[in-house]
Structures are given as C-alpha cells and as structure tokens.
Amino acid sequence: MDANTTGSIAGHVLVVEDEDDLRELIVELLEREGFAVFAAENGRRALARLESDASRIALVLLDMSMPDVDGWEFLELAKGLAPDALPKVVLMTAHAYRDVESLGAGLHGYLKKPFDVPALLEVVRGATAATPRSGALQHGD
C-alpha cells in the first residue's frame, strides 16, 4: 500500500508486520495523520522495498517476530543494503526492553504490543521529527 499524500516528514514510513489486520490498521492510522506509508507483510518484502526505495523511507516500524525473516535478521540484512542511509527503526514487539541503546545504533525505540493509537503516533512523530537517519540513537517512549 502506498499513500500518495504528502506526509509530515520528508519520506515514507515502512510498516513491516505479518499480522494483516494490525498492519492494515497501522497503515490506515498513519495515512489519516498525513504520513506517506509503504507496507510489507514480511521481512523479505520489506527488504525488497528498502532496496528499491531506501532514499524515500524515513522510518521503519518493524515487527520483531515474523516467520520468514525476523526483525533481527531484517536489521542485519538491511545494514548491507543501505549501510550509510539506513532509516530510523522502531521495533514492535511483545517484549519489553529496558535499554534501547543496547539494541543497536539506528534504533529509535520500541512499541510494546499491544499498543494504543496515541502511543503509536507519539513514537512515529518523535522518530520522524529529527532529520538524521541512522546516526545517534534516540530514545522512544
């Protein structure tokens, strides 16, 4: 799914989620808020999208638990595709992380599932507010 609207950031949000209903809901919410959105139902499709559109993607919302390429493998493979231009990444996971910095550079934070709409929008807005792509780590709530 692509949104042709101009979002509040210079770039798209790539939503990577294997649960159809959740992915579609996140895409719909972000589009309503004016974000341009790409969606991928698995890690392989997300990697293909990143390879073809890396310069257009400002943020990846990444499900960590997927059947084909999980979130950790996606992150490793994505670094090889766009080592100098990796978009910011926000993890979506059922697990809590106390120290986001320990997860690696380029990660902006995480959303603990289940999350609510205000939390999603707050994290996306926070991650897209600053311009650097994968430089210094910034904490999400």
Question: Is the pTM for the entire model greater than 0.95?
Answer: no
Task: Note whether 93 and 65 are within 8 A (CB).
Answer: yes
Measured CA to CA, the distance from residue 31 to residue 122 in angstroms comes to 15
The CATH number of the domain holding residue 64 is: 3.40.50.2300
pLDDT tens-digit profile of 84-129?
Answer: 778 999 999 887 665 555 556 567 888 989 999 999 999 999 888 8
Please indicate, yes or no, if residue 137 is contained in any of the structural domains.
Answer: no
Q: How many whole angstroms separate alpha carbon 59 and alpha carbon 103? A: 17
For residue 56, the one-letter residue type is R
pLDDT single digits (tens) 6-27: 344 567 999 999 999 999 999 9
Look at residue 134 and tell me if it is in a domain: no
Domains in the chain, number: 1
